[in-house]
């Protein structure tokens, strides 16, 4: 498809387990972002990647969270030893370049539920 693709769309896991969420950005987009939306909250910035530059990880809530982007395309967000407060919709977005003025193209999100 032409849009940002995320998988899985839904993930239910037990507290303490590790999870991986995948994002396939729009072809040709050099910037990739991860946000999350907890229940009743706005979107919270987690991390972004721009080309081959070092990622900005300033939004990651703890060291249990990590992300990588291989080959400048697909990205994986990993949450280790999940906690109930990690339950949220994790949204990936991409854009032509890192920008504050252009639009971000979001995927449909991965809904994570930690029991």
Partner 1 sequence: DQQVKQNSPSLSVQEGRISILNCDYTNSMFDYFLWYKKYPAEGPTFLISISSIKDKNEDGRFTVFLNKSAKHLSLHIVPSQPGDSAVYFCAAAGSSNTGKLIFGQGTTLQVKP
| Other beta carbons within 10 Å of 87 | 17
Return the closest-CA partner of residue 105 out of 38, 53, 52, 35. Answer: 35
What is the closest distance, in whole angstroms, from the C-beta atom of residue 74 to partner 1 in the complex? 17
Q: What is the binding site for partner 1 (CB under 8 A)?
A: 4, 31, 33, 35, 40-45, 48, 50, 56, 58-59, 91, 93, 95, 98-101, 103-109
The DSSP output letter for 109 is -
Q: Quick one: 13 or 37, whose CB is closer to partner 1?
A: 37
What is the closest distance, in whole angstroms, from the C-beta atom of residue 87 to partner 1 in the complex? 17
What is the closest distance, in whole angstroms, from the C-beta atom of residue 9 to partner 1 in the complex? 9
CA angle 35, 77, 48 (to 5 degrees): 50
CA 19 to CA 113: how far, in whole Å?
11
Q: Quick one: 31 or 67, whose CB is closer to partner 1?
A: 31
Q: Quick one: 45 or 81, whose CB is closer to partner 1?
A: 45
């Amino acid at each position: 498809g032409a849009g940002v693709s995320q998988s899985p769309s839904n993930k239910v896991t037990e507290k303490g387990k590790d999870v991986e969420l995948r994002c396939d950005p729009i072809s040709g987009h050099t910037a990739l972002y991860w946000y999350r939306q907890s229940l009743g909250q706005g979107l919270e910035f987690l991390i972004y990647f721009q080309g081959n530059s070092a990622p900005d990880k300033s939004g990651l809530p703890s060291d249990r969270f990590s992300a990588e982007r291989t080959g400048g395309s697909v990205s994986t967000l990993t949450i280790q030893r999940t906690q109930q407060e990690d339950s949220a919709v994790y949204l990936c977005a991409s854009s032509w370049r890192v920008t504050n003025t252009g639009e971000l193209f979001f995927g449909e999100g991965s809904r994570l539920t930690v029991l």
